[in-house]
Amino acid sequence: MSQIISQCTADSLASAAQSLKNGALVVFPTETVYGLGADANSDAAVARIYEVKGRPADHPLIVHISSMENLSIWARDIPVYAISLARDFWPGPMTLVLPRSEVAQDFITGGQDTVGVRVPAHAIALALLNSFEKIGGKGIAAPSANRFGKVSPTTASAVSEEIAQYLSDTDCILDGGPALVGVESTIIDCTSSNPKILRPGAVTLEMIQECTGLDVVQDTTNAIRVSGSLDSHYSPKAEVILGAMAESGEGFIAPATITTPKGAIRLASPVTVEDYARVLYAALRSADSQGLKRIAVIEPEGAGLAIAVRDRLLRASRGN
């Protein structure tokens, strides 16, 4: 059984980095959700990520690095607009998909010629990455720390509930408190002349266009496989019904301006779209912990981050 480390001191982070180098898994907090980390250069360690998650082997992983200076270790033929994005939004909730270097092996890329890379904006994640790089590590591969297709964890306790039984004594969970963003990173394909959004997130279309001065393409072809792109994903056990008011005994997630129907169980009342993203996964998990069968959801309206929240809810509604 893995241990949860709540006092993330320099010594405990150095120890966690050494565990990664030795082939163990380390769960760490990021600003988006908690990641299930392994040495991105170790085939055997990465294989354990797939085992713990129950994840298809052709599903690529995102490599986390400590700074944009290390991007060229993992990627080649990096366009100027990708450098602009990295300068503006790293550390932050953005993953860039680029042609892979020789360092990025098939077991990271799902056999594709591209690799996804990001610099997370969380002090513990960055300290872990720096410690890992000091002892020769090049990057940490980390999908969200949940079973495949299920709700991503935004706290260490949610990680423990979800996957502790699949972790070993040498693995550990670093507790960095609740995730601040709450939905996974924006994934941007940077392999052609214009940036293409493969998964929406907190770095929005408008932000990308302003940064790059380029028109952003919305990808509908799924030509590049990326994390969280399946039709059904982020799904609780309860059935998620979109655009509906809850009946008595059902869960209800809606903006704070909408009154709870009589007898419904209020799971979240976000005031802003940022609140909505931050509390969404915890609310879905709460429904399951209460044994609810259905969750009625009124989605946030508008552009920007609301698009990412609606994306996650749509995929959740196609689940169980």
pLDDT tens-digit readout, 18-60: 999 999 999 999 999 999 999 999 999 999 999 999 988 888 9
190-221 per-position pLDDT tens digit:
999 999 999 999 999 999 999 999 999 876 66
Residues 70/87, Cβ–Cβ less than 8 Å = no
Q: Name the residue type at position 228.
A: G
83 falls within a domain: yes
CA distance 14 to 254: 42
Residue span of the structural domain in which 55 resides = 3-218
244-271 per-position pLDDT tens digit:
999 999 999 999 999 999 999 999 999 9
Is the pLDDT at 222 greater than 70? The verdict is no
My answer on whether 159 and 268 are in the same domain is no
Q: Name the residue type at position 216.
A: V
CA distance 22 to 135: 11
My answer on whether 54 and 155 are in the same domain is yes
231 falls within a domain: no
CA distance 243 to 248: 16
Shortest CA distance to 172 belongs to which of 27, 43, 278? 27
CA distance 203 to 25: 28
108 falls within a domain: yes
My answer on whether 207 and 308 are in the same domain is no
CA distance 240 to 24: 35
8-state DSSP, 164: G
My answer on whether 113 and 252 are in the same domain is no
CA distance 266 to 192: 45
My answer on whether 185 and 73 are in the same domain is yes
